[in-house]
Structure 1
Amino acid sequence: MNTKNKSTRRGFRRAAAAVLATTLLAGAAATPATAETTALPQAAAGPDRPELSESMQAFIGLGFTGMQLRVHDERGEWVGSAGRRELGKTAKPSTNGRFRVGSVTKTITATLVLQLVAEGKVGLDSPAADYLPGFGLDRRITVRMLLQHTSGVFNHTGQYYPDGTYVPGIAWSGQEWVDNRFRTHRPEDLVRLSLSKPAPFEPGTAWDYSNTNYVLARFLVEKVTGRSYVEETQRRILRPLGMRGTTMPGTSTEVPGPHAHAYYRYEDAGQSKTVDVTRQNPSWVAAGGDMISTSQDLQTFITALQGGRLLPAPLLAEMRKPDPTVGYGLGMFVQDGTTPSPFPAPSCGVTVLTHNGSVQGYGTLMYSTPDGSRTLTGSINYVDDAAQSMAGPFHTGLQNLVDVVFCDGKTAS
């Protein structure tokens, strides 16, 4: 389309900013700690992986509080942790503790919708309004556009417009969010807020990350199946794969089981305050980022997905078709060298499929090769802030890590 071709570069800059704001990390300095590594039984006889320990420690050295990491490749499975579970204490994060996965939830939601497509219950290129008659959606918006962020639906967490203006949505950062972090947001209210705002572009003419697309996808699942989004996710994905450490909390504020702590720093009357925000009501992001999981469960999921256990080959191929603006397929980023990417790709040119995620103070990593034979999953806990003060160092640490994992231990020069 002409509109897309003329604005690709400008669109990529806006898209990258939006992705950084919603799926990357921000953090503040924490005291470094030494790395702890633990091998799973099947890898106990294999060689040590000092390069992975060093990559974790590099993240801690950049100012992140703690990290847990899981890598699976031809050498077996390796897990480790580094840093601190809580500020002011010495215990390290569990190597398979639970954490808020943020926008990694979108990959699971997209998979759920594509399963309905495979069953003939949903048309990928049909108007989303056919399945969501109560919202008055523009009939040009297709199901594919929701999953690929090309719908033009205003992002309920805030929207950049093509002219550079920014229109805020609900509060999800700063002191306002801290003070209201236990508030419940109804998903229908999030959608209606978005649809009350002007669309940033015509459907299908550009790309822009919108959490509201996946709230709509949640409603689509419920409308088509007659069951709740939670029930369908459990029935179709979590239980069949044995993902026992994964929960969808709804409005619950707790992170169950062993977990590292998340923090948020803000200014109040000229003074810096740091608050433990591990407990929060995640309903503000609904099916776009509210899930809680473990590195083991995410490894199980991404391996099953890329290995063809969750979707038939034609729909997995559709999922992997990247939008030319920013390399986003259907619920995942496709880093194959053909499109720009806001995330660092392996410098050796290996193709990877990924979706990272962030919820205040938690950052999630999920990467896989196309055949699922090599994966990286993990979590970082940190001190978040509205300024995203650690976005640059995070990029540096992540580039080093993906090179170590996917480029046979070689880091970017």
Structure 2
Amino acid sequence: MNTGVRTTLVAATAVALSAALAGPALAAAPARGTGGHDATRQAVEALVKEGVPGVTLTARDGHGAWSTTAGVGNLRTKAPRSADDRYRVGSITKTFVSTVLLQLEAEGRLSLDDTVDKWLPGKVSGHGHDGRAITLRMLLNHTSGVFNYTADEDFGRTYFLKDGFFKHRYDRTSPADLLAIAMSHEPDFAPGTSWNYSNTNYLLAAMVIEQATGRPYGAEIRDRIIEPLHLSATSVPGTRVTVPQPSSRAYSKLAETATGPTYDVTTLNPAIAYGSGEMISDSADLDRFYSALLRGRLLPPHQLKEMKSTVQIEGAPNVRYGLGLIDRTLSCGVHVWGHDGGIHGSSSDAATTADGRHSVALNLNGDWAGDTTTVLEAEFCGS
């Protein structure tokens, strides 16, 4: 994942997705809601001009909710994107997983200082990995050193390049399968000595939730977050390969370059992402989730403070990583908290001010172009 600003599951495999989609820019749909977001609307339109098929965004502040879309949700029919689109949120899943683990800590059912081996004895071992030296906190803030399974070259060829993807897109991988890939490599560093984004950390975090509760991690997210907040568009799909309606198609180049044919990658088995990036949501739900989280509705003050205790990300001076929560300092000095994420054909971003009063979430239905930071700058810093 590229955590400089946008953390994407695709980027973790070293698949270079940075150039623009060839073809003319597509017109933006009218904005819906309150005014005062001209800079944001223009930033959304600019993403389409850069090559993204389509964008959907919803913001919420003291004046209410506001939505805008640009481009198309279907390259074949030219149907526009909808403000109500549901989409795969990729690594935004990590904030949900971290929230559940912190709730379990608040209930006294586990401690962030517990070792991984306490909950998953013998699971993190081999080639220098040692679960006895890694704490749950290290998993959540990516200081564990555990190898990132999506960075495995064979995994990348199998699931992110064209030939492998179309052969394996519906594979039923288990968490044990994914963990075995990580354990076949040496750690990135000794636990607690550095920082590196690893999807394996949240694979393990979800497994710990299941061990501590005796229930699927998705059921815990549903009962503890989705239902209490009435997040009607949000789900942990498990092995379901489709995205519920309303939704747009999702597109990828499925190549190491951002040129060449564009493929529809909407249907896939998201089990390859598991607790690191499996979930589906929409922009309004993500605004509601992050606002509730930052307002203290989901965690007691101590756990929220722990979640917001950050470490510096090397090479990204304005970005720090907490426990499944990213702190970004924008050019105007505003701090926003949230996460970004990507999975095949879908790049998403969500950010909220520290008081939870101003939120924005957006999705691009292409994974090879578009910097969502420009939209955050426009929303929180623009006039």
- Same structural fold, with TM-score higher than 0.5 when normalized by the shorter chain: yes
Contact 2:86 2:280 in 1 (8 A): yes
Question: How far is 1:179 from its partner?
Answer: 2.9
Report if aligned partners of 1:150, 1:208 keep a CA contact under 8 Å in 2: yes
Distance 2:178 2:362 in 1: 29
The one of 112, 115, 127 aligned to 1:127: 115
Cα distance in 1 for residues equivalent to 2:359 and 2:295? 12
Which one of 310, 313, 316 corresponds to residue 298 of structure 2?
310
Q: Pick one of 364, 369, 374 that aligns with 1:380.
A: 364
In structure 2, the residue matched to 1:329 is 322
**Candidates 297, 319, 340, aligned match of 1:356:** 340
The DSSP-based 3-state class of the residue aligned with 1:335 is strand
The DSSP-based 3-state class of the residue aligned with 2:159 is coil
Q: Given the superposition, is the C-alpha separation of residues 242 and 15 from structure 1 closer, same or farther in structure 2, using an over 3 Å criterion?
A: closer
Q: SS of the counterpart of 2:228?
A: helix
* 1:333 CA displacement: 1.2
- Separation in structure 2 between the aligned mates of residue 288 and residue 312 of structure 1, nearest angstrom: 24
> Counterpart of 2:161 in structure 1: which amino acid?
G
- Distance in 1, matches of 2:289 and 2:254, equals 35
- Structure 1 residue corresponding to 2:82, chosen from 82, 90, 94: 94
Partner of 2:103: 115
User: Aligned in 2, Cα 1:213/1:239: closer, same or farther, shift over 3 Å?
Assistant: same
Distance in 2, matches of 1:91 and 1:295, equals 19
In 2, Cα distance between the equivalents of 1:124 and 1:358? Answer: 27
Return closer, same or farther for 1:14/1:25 CA change in 2, 3 Å cut-off.
Answer: closer
- Structure 2: distance between partners of 1:82 and 1:135: 46
Q: State which of 132, 151, 161 in structure 2 corresponds to 1:174.
A: 161
Does residue 258 of the first structure (1) align with residue 263 of the second (2)?
Answer: no
**Matching residue of 1:296:** 284
Q: Does 1:239 align with 2:191?
A: no
CA distance in structure 1 between the aligned counterparts of 2:154 and 2:196, rounded to whole angstroms:
15
Paired with 1:80 and 1:19, the residues of 2 have a C-alpha distance of 23
Alpha-carbon shift at residue 89 of structure 1 (Å):
2.6
Q: Which runs of 5+ in 2 are unaligned?
A: 315-319
Q: Give TM-score, length-normalised by structure 1.
A: 0.82
Whether the 8 Å CA contact 1:27–1:64 is kept in 2: the answer is no
Letter in 1 for 2:326: F
The C-alpha deviation readout for 1:7-65, integer Å capped at 9, x for no partner, is: xxxxxx9974994624997564154222123435xx4xxx3633332121111111100
Deviation (angstroms), 1:252: 1.3
Q: Is the Cα contact below 8 Å between 1:244 and 1:297 reproduced in 2? A: yes
In structure 2, what is the Cα distance between the partners aligned to 1:245 and 1:93? 16
Q: CA deviation at 1:134?
A: 4.5
| Unpaired stretches in structure 1, ≥5 consecutive residues | 1-12, 160-166, 337-345
Question: For the Cα contact (< 8 Å) 2:85–2:245, is it kept in 1?
Answer: yes
Contact residue 14 and residue 208 of structure 1 kept, 8 A: no
SS in 1 for 2:123: coil
> Normalising by the residue count of structure 2, what TM-score does the alignment of the two structures yield?
0.88
Q: CA deviation at 1:146?
A: 0.5
CA RMSD in angstroms, aligned pairs only: 2.5
**Which amino acid letter does the alignment assign opposite residue 406 of structure 1?**
F
Q: Does 1:406 align with 2:363?
A: no
Matches within 5 A, 1:9-408: 16=4, 19=7, 21-22=11-12, 26=18, 28-29=20-21, 30-40=23-33, 43=34, 47=35, 49-137=37-125, 138=130, 139-158=132-151, 169=155, 171-175=158-162, 176-266=164-254, 272-326=260-314, 327-336=320-329, 346-382=330-366, 384=367, 388=368, 390=369, 394-395=370-371, 398-407=372-381
* Aligned-residue identity in percent: 37
Deviation at 1:324, TM superposition (A): 2.2
What does the per-residue CA deviation read over 1:97-127, in whole Å, with 9 as the maximum and x for residues that have no partner? 1100000000111111110011111111121
User: 2: distance between equivalents of 1:332 and 1:27?
Assistant: 28
Deviation at 1:77, TM superposition (A): 1.3
Tell me the alpha carbon deviations over residues 270-323 of structure 1, each in whole angstroms, 9 at most, x when there is no partner. x94432110111111111101011111111100110000001111111111111
Cα 1:363/1:38, change in 2 over 3 Å: same
Shift of 1:74: 2.6
Which letter does structure 1 place at the counterpart of 2:217? Y
Q: Which amino acid aligns with 2:216?
A: S
